Amino acid sequence: KAGVTQTPRYLIKTRGQQVTLSCSPISGHRSVSWYQQTPGQGLQFLFEYFSETQRNKGNFPGRFSGRQFSNSRSEMNVSTLELGDSALYLCASSLEVRPDTQYFGPGTRLTVL
Amino acid sequence: AQKVTQAQTEISVVEKEDVTLDCVYETRDTTYYLFWYKQPPSGELVFLIRRNSFDEQNEISGRYSWNFQKSTSSFNFTITASQVVDSAVYFCALSERIDYQLIWGAGTKLIIKP
């Protein structure tokens, strides 16, 4: 079975731009979660989606948004990028909602200049 | 107070040595889950193990073993006969019944020297 895939793997943007990251979960998995990882803050939860509905949201500003499609694929969007948004964005999928085990993708490394 | 503490920021050992990564957690829940993930330089978090609070049996998987002790709120991870490919950052995480969100430790960077 193919693992979680994320595109693109690397992205360079400038302040003020917006970005969309994509995540395809493991086949059959219905839950997708997003995390931001930075050296200073570690792993921080962004949101969790299940059956196209956002179930949980972390403590991030409204510039961070996401959605899930009927095929369970998910996208997250960051608008008006700031330098502090530079991070590794990880997507994880699970069969069902928490506490089901989450399996992670390779991440998208976003650099904001 | 941190709910998941990985006190060892970085550990460096020579190949073939045994190494133990510590994880201490804090929770008032009686139902919770503990996880270990490995993050190699490529960045992907690789799931290693999940343990629920009612199962205190130690687990062994090849060179990997886990020691879960509720009395000391610890869930330690031991690699026997370490190999260079074990070099990575290892994260311990807690999932509590209140919302089952993963609460992450800061991670331990493990360096295995040839």
**What's the pLDDT tens digit per position in B81-114?**
999 999 999 999 999 988 888 999 999 999 999 9
Kindly determine whether residue B107 and residue A42, on different chains, have CB atoms separated by under 8 Å: yes
- Residue B1's pLDDT is what? 58
B34 burial type by CB count under 10 A (0-12 exposed, 13-18 middle, 19+ buried): buried
For chain A, give the percent of residues with pLDDT over 90.
Answer: 90
Q: What is the mean pLDDT of residues A54-72?
A: 95
Minimal CA separation from A93 to chain B, in Å: 12
Query: Residue A96: which pLDDT band, with cuts at 50, 70 and 90?
Result: confident
Q: What is the mean pLDDT of residues A57-67?
A: 95
Q: Which of B37, B101, B107 is closest, CB to CB, to A45? A: B101
**A25, A73 contact by CB (below 8 A):** yes
Q: What is the mean pLDDT of residues A41-52?
A: 93
Q: Which of A97, A102, A104 is closest, CB to CB, to B44? A: A104
Higher pLDDT, B1 or B53: B53
- Residue B101's pLDDT is what? 87
Kindly determine whether residue B44 and residue A107, on different chains, have CB atoms separated by under 8 Å: yes
Q: What is the mean pLDDT of residues B59-67?
A: 94
Q: What number of CA atoms fall less than 13 Å from residue A87's CA on the CB side?
A: 23
DSSP state of A84: G
Give dist(CA B113, CA B16) in Å, integer: 9
Q: B95 contacts in A (CB within 8 Å)?
A: 98-99
Asked if the model's pLDDT at residue B21 lies above 80, the reply is yes
Asked if the model's pLDDT at residue B54 lies above 70, the reply is yes
- Residue B56's pLDDT is what? 87
- In three-state secondary structure terms, B77 is strand
Report the residue of chain B nearest A90, measured CA to CA: B44
Q: What is the mean pLDDT of residues B69-75?
A: 95
Strands (E), chain A: 5-7, 10-13, 19-24, 31-38, 42-50, 53-57, 64-68, 74-78, 87-94, 103-104, 108-112
